Amino acid sequence: MISLLLIFIGALIFPGLISITKAKLSGKKGPGIFQPYKDILRLLKKGSVYSSTTSFVFQVAPIIYMASVLGAILMIPFGNFKQGLISFEGDFLMFAYMLAFGKFLMIISALDTGSGFEGMGANREALYSMLVEPAFFIVLSSVVMLSGYTSFYEMFTHFHVENYVSWLYVAISVYLLIQITLIENSRLPVDDPKTHLELTMVHEVMVLDNSGFDLGLIQITGALKFAMFGALIGNLVIPPMHLGFELSALAFVVIQALFAITVGFMESFRARLKMIYNPQFILTLSGIALIAFFAVFFITKTI
């Protein structure tokens, strides 16, 4: 329960912090921290418009997408103190495929509109999700190997960091998780959430036809996903520091904030990748994850 609460707090400040960071870095004044939510509130007050070519898939997709992310969040524990609301052996697999299920629905709902643009976006999103999946699993399986358990709570509780080599592993994992989050949330360098050019969009173009309430849901889900990955990072970093309960909770929020600011920094000083280099970039992450994975072999002396 406590992790759910902390993730909600994280999701509340996340989008605002990113835009404030980006605005400050380019010398602008920037919006208030809750501006993204004011926009979402405005959307939620509106009705949705549905094109006559769409079927029920298009109408249910945003809700299921949000539900899938919420379901995944339920599995995330709070460090070594509290397990998630749902917790069982192998729940990290369930976690990954809950997310994939939501994404699958968004993809078919984009195809449902029959628009050339959305098909194009769906195609790209499907490709990138497929490519990023191995990286995510390799990162988590290394934790599984290090701890010897397969549920999130057990994994993070028994994931002991004994020497500096394992801290190195933590550093690599955090780096990978940040990159994976950026890809999953369609941010730079793979996608550009601010672009208005349909031909270059990945995620944005898929939700072009969604409006009003549905669009609001999709945007909230985006923020939740960010905080969810932030919580994963928190779980990886906080338990080995052996802080107390309250301090850990604070550290959780601080990590979310730092994460948001990092994203803001990363998006300010570089251009986006050329689209054909995206798969290459994502595969590189899997490569790095593999290196970490073999490092774990050495740490656990299985080889």
Q: Which residues sit at the interface with another protein, rule CB under 8 A?
A: 22, 25-28, 116-117, 120, 188-189, 192, 194-200, 267-277
> DSSP state, 138?
H
Q: How far is the CB of 268 from another protein (least distance, A)?
A: 5
Is 42 exposed, middle or buried (CB count within 10 Å of its CB: 0-12, 13-18, 19+)? Answer: exposed
Based on CB atoms, which residue is closest to another protein, 134 or 279? 279
User: Least distance to another protein from the beta carbon of 267, Å?
Assistant: 6
Instruction: Considering the complex, state which of residue 26 and residue 55 has its C-beta at the smaller distance from another protein.
Output: 26
User: Smallest distance from the beta carbon of 93 to another protein, in angstroms?
Assistant: 32
| Nearest to 88, CA basis, from 153, 2, 151, 155 | 151
Q: How far apart are CB 222 and another protein at their closest, in Å?
A: 17
- Pick between residue 48 and residue 200 the one whose CB is nearest to another protein: 200
Helix (H, G, I), strand (E, B) or coil at 26: coil
Contact between residue 292 and residue 201 where contact means Cβ atoms under 8 Å apart: no
Cβ count within 10 A of residue 89: 10
Please identify, using beta-carbon distances, which residue of 203 and 234 lies nearer to another protein: 203
Find all residues with CB under 8 Å of 209, minimum gap 6, and list them.
51, 54, 58, 110, 113, 115, 118
Q: How far is the CB of 73 from another protein (least distance, A)?
A: 29
Number of residues assigned to the chain:
303
Structure tokens at 143: 């934790």
Pick the closer one to another protein by CB: 262 or 300: 262
User: Comparing C-alpha atoms, which of 144, 229, 216 is closest to residue 180?
Assistant: 229
The nearer residue to another protein, 164 or 269, going by C-beta atoms, is 269
Minimum CB separation of residue 277 from another protein in Å reads 8
Cβ atoms of residues 220 and 42 within 8 Å: no
